[in-house]
Structure formats: C-alpha cells, structure tokens
C-alpha cells in the first residue's frame, strides 16, 4: 500500500484525530481504498529551515505555522501511517481502517460472487456447447441418413422410371395387339367369306365339268363327342377339313367328360366348319321338343344352339341340319314354318347325300363305315359329296381314317361346308 510507506520525520506532537463524518465521507467516496492518496506532507527537514532558527520561540512559531498549514485529513492519514508502521497489518484494529478492510472484504465477496457467476456462466456455456455439439452430430447424422435415403430414393425413382418406360412400351404393344384382336372377328369372317367364295367357284367348275376335282364335305353330327379330339388330330395331320353339326344336349350320356367349348374352339381354329344341329336334338314323335311342341319350341332350340356356338367359336353358324333329316321334320311341322323360322335366325339348311349309317342300333364296324363311304361317294354326280356320320362313334373314327386315303385316291378333297356352297341348295339324300 502506497500510503503505508513509512514517512521520515513525522512530528511527534501530531496526535491521531478521531475519525469524523467528513473523513469517513471522503474515504467512502473512494471505491478503491488503495487509491486514497493523502497529500504529501511538507518536508520538515527542508535545508532552508535549518539555518538561522535555533531558539525556542522561533521553533514554536514555526511549529504553529506548520500546524496551521496541515489539514485534518492529512493528520488522520499521517496517524494511520504511523500506526501501520508500528503495528504492521494491525490496521484492522483501527476504527478508520476497519472500514477499508470491510470494503475490501466486500469487494472480495463480489469477486468471489463474480467468479461463482463466471463459473456458472462457463458451466452453462459448456452445457450449451455440448448441446450444440450433440445437435450438430444429430444434424450430421440426419443429413447423412437423408443423403442415403435420397440416394436410395433416386435409385428407386430411376428404377420406377425404367419400369414405367417398359410398361409404356408394353402397353403400346398391347394396344396394337388389342386393336388387331378387336378386328380379328371381322377379319376372320371376311377371310372365311373369301375362302367360301373360292370353294364356290371350284364347285361351279365341277358342276360345269370344267374340273376333275371331287369335293367331300364329310360331316360329324351330335358332337362334340368322345371321338372329336381324335378326329381333329387326324384331320390336322392329314390336311383335311370337315364340318361339325353340333348339338349341346345330343348324346350326352355317350360323351364322357369332354370339354365341349374347347373342342368347338379347336374345330374352328383348325379351319373346320362348326354348324347347328339344335340344342336338344329330341326329335322323337312322342317326347321331343323339336317338332312336337310347335314352331316356337323348335325355333328356341335352334336359337339356344346358335348362341352357344357363337359364344364358344366367335363365328355365327348359318347352316342347320334337322335332327332326323328334313323329311322327318316336315312331317311334324309344316316345311314353310320350319324354313321361315330358320331364315329368321339366319340359317339355311342341308341334309346329306351319303350316310355311313353309324347309328347305335346297327353300329357298323370300321370296315363297313369305310366301305359305305367309299362306295356311296362314287355314286354321286356331280361329285360333291355330303357325308353323314357321328363323332361319338369309335367305329366311325376308324372307318373315317380308312376312307380318307381311299377317297383321296378317287380324286376327292376334303373341305369345310359353308352356306355359300352349291351343296346347300342341291343336296338330295341318296343314302340313308
Ligand atoms: Zn343328330
């Protein structure tokens, strides 16, 4: 402490003056007790004061003059300094200095408090920094994860786009295909019309004697039946075409478990003619619903079969064959009614010229079927044969396979029967 430095030559008669309100106020106004710097006391041992004055009077005057110059504050400070010299740090025992000590302690307390607050703030800052670091780590993790997800999403998007392009391409292919399929029935009907027209031209040449070709319209009635698949296989292998007069309910017990719609589709796909032989096929005089219940019942049985053929083959049939033959039907319902009903349903009709007579009662063996087919065909002139048989009969199947090569040797070709055929209007039953 600067003001605690020992002073040289303090006046021995200067007594400490008790602290007054004035001095306390002066010190109180000084925040830094250490900065309270008293006025420098005059040098009592100045050289010019030593020389001529040696008597008591002069010393007393000088003493009084000197005392008048000193302020009370300086006196107090000098007293304090004197005490400090004597007591060292015993200043705390002095009333005036106790205030300074108290202020220092207060300051220290404030410093301590500030240090504590600083420590608290530092702790808070450290906590905040740690939280920030944690958040930063989390954000980096999130960012990384987002990046990975983003990359995965980009890959998925790319794959989806590729798949979408493939689907669009496939969709366009399918649209083209659908466009083709939507018109396939019209195209197929047109092709069949063209095909039938060419056959009709050939027939006309045959009838006119301008062609040596013979035509066999081999027909199978009452199917599809248990031999239909085998017959189709044989026809496919040998490049021949036949006609099926189908009936949904005919010969049901003899069919087995054949898939009738599938067989009818295959008949159509292989180029054969699929035609109408009525739904019920019940042509008996007593219990049948074809001819004994009136024209409406007959018409309904034709219509049901017509729907079934169209549903399963895509082609509308237009040739009807009367179960039992037209002559049998005309005996039960007037011919005009029957033909009128058929015309309303879009049908012509046909019987046959030749008949292998493969009914259940006689059930000829294959050789007999073969012999009848080949022999009867020779009797038809012009040589446009309509052969009657049934595709539920196994003997017929074997007889058919023997007859085909033989008929080919006779000059016959096997064609499907269409409504444009010359045979429709010119077929007369020769064998039955
Ligand atoms: Zn029949």
Structure-block tokens of residue 63: 């003493």
Distance 53 CA to ligand 1 centre (A): 179
Distance 319 CA to ligand 1 centre (A): 14
Distance 396 CA to ligand 1 centre (A): 14
CA distance 419 to 275: 10
Distance 323 CA to ligand 1 centre (A): 5
Cβ neighbourhood burial of 211 (10 Å; 0-12, 13-18, 19+): middle
Distance 419 CA to ligand 1 centre (A): 19
Q: What is the DSSP string of 199-254?
A: HHHHHHHHHTT----EEEEEEEEEES-TTHHHHHHHHHHHT---EEEE-SSTTGGG
Distance 364 CA to ligand 1 centre (A): 17
Strand partners, 320: 276, 349
CA distance 385 to 379: 9
CA distance 429 to 377: 12
- Written in H, E and C, the secondary structure of 246-300 is ECCCCCHHHCCCCCHHHHHHHHHHCCCEEEECCCCCCCCCCCCCCCCCCHHHHHH
Distance 388 CA to ligand 1 centre (A): 9
pLDDT tens string, the chain, 432 residues long: the values are 444 444 444 444 444 444 444 444 444 444 444 444 444 444 444 444 444 444 554 555 455 444 444 555 555 556 555 555 555 444 444 444 444 444 566 667 777 777 888 888 888 888 888 888 888 888 888 878 888 888 888 888 888 888 888 888 988 888 887 777 778 778 888 889 999 999 999 999 999 999 999 999 999 999 999 999 999 999 999 999 999 999 999 876 666 788 999 999 999 999 999 999 999 999 988 878 899 999 999 999 999 999 999 999 989 999 999 999 999 999 999 999 999 999 999 999 999 999 999 987 778 999 999 999 999 999 999 999 999 999 999 999 999 999 999 999 999 999 999 999 999 999 999 998
CA distance 142 to 354: 91
- Ligand 1 is an ion; residues with CB less than 5 A from it: 221-222, 323
Distance 191 CA to ligand 1 centre (A): 29
Distance 179 CA to ligand 1 centre (A): 39
Cα first-last separation, the chain: 156
Contact 398, 366 (CB under 8 A): yes
Distance 222 CA to ligand 1 centre (A): 5
CB-based burial, 367-382: b 16+ in 10 Å, e otherwise = ebbbbbbbebbeebeb
Structure-block tokens of residue 60: 């007393």
CA distance 391 to 221: 6
Distance 201 CA to ligand 1 centre (A): 30
Count the alpha carbons within 13 Å of 255 in the hemisphere toward its beta carbon.
19
C-alpha distances (whole Å) from 169 to each of 156, 157, 161, 410 are: 20, 18, 12, 55
What kind and span of H or E run contains 430?
Answer: none
pTM above the 0.85 mark? no
Contact 16, 83 (CB under 8 A): yes
CA distance 142 to 35: 60
Please give the domain boundaries of the chain with CATH numbers for all domains.
189-426 (3.20.20.370)
Distance 278 CA to ligand 1 centre (A): 9
Distance 221 CA to ligand 1 centre (A): 5
Distance 280 CA to ligand 1 centre (A): 10
Contact 235, 270 (CB under 8 A): yes
The 8-class DSSP code of residue 364 comes to -
pLDDT in the model for residue 25 = 42
């Amino acid at each position: 402490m600067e003001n605690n430095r020992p002073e040289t030559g303090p006046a021995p008669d200067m007594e400490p003056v008790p602290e007054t309100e004035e001095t306390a106020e002066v010190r109180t106004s000084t925040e830094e007790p250490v900065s309270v710097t008293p006025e420098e006391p005059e040098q009592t041992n100045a050289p010019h004061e030593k020389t001529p004055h040696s008597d008591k009077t002069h010393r007393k005057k000088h003493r009084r003059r000197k005392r008048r110059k000193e302020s009370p504050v300086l006196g107090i400070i000098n007293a304090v300094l004197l005490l400090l010299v004597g007591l060292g740090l015993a200043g705390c025992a002095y009333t005036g200095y106790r205030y300074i000590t108290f202020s220092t302690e207060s300051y220290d307390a404030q410093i301590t408090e500030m240090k504590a607050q600083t420590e608290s703030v530092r702790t808070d800052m450290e906590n905040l920094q740690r939280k920030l670091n944690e958040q930063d780590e989390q954000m980096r993790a999130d960012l990384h994860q987002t990046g990975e997800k983003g990359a995965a999403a980009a890959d998925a998007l790319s794959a989806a786009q590729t798949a979408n392009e493939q689907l669009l391409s496939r969709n366009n292919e399918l649209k083209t295909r659908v466009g083709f399929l939507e018109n396939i029935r019209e195209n197929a009907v047109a092709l069949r019309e063209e095909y039938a027209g060419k056959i009709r031209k050939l027939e006309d040449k045959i009838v006119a004697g301008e062609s040596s070709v013979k035509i066999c319209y081999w027909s199978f009635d009452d199917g599809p039946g248990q031999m239909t698949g085998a017959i189709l296989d044989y026809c496919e292998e040998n490049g021949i075409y036949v006609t099926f007069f189908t009936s949904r309910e005919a010969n049901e017990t003899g069919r087995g478990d054949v898939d009738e719609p599938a067989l009818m589709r295959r008949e159509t796909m292989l180029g054969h003619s699929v035609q109408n032989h009525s739904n019920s096929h019940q042509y008996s005089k007593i219990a049948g619903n074809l001819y004994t219940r009136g024209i409406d019942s007959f018409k309904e049985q034709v219509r049901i079969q017509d729907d079934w053929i169209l549903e399963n083959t895509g082609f509308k049939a237009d040739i009807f064959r009367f179960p039992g033959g037209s002559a049998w039907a005309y005996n039960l319902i007037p011919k005009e009614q029957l033909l009128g009903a058929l015309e309303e349903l879009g049908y012509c009709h046909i019987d046959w010229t030749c008949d292998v007579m493969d009914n259940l009662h006689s059930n000829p063996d294959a050789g007999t079927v073969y012999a009848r087919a080949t022999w009867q065909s020779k009797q038809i002139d012009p040589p446009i044969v309509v052969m009657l048989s049934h595709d539920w009969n196994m003997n017929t199947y074997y007889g058919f396979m023997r007859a085909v090569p033989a008929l080919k040797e006779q000059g016959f070709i096997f064609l499907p029967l269409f409504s444009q055929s010359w045979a429709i209007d010119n077929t007369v039953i020769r064998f039955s």
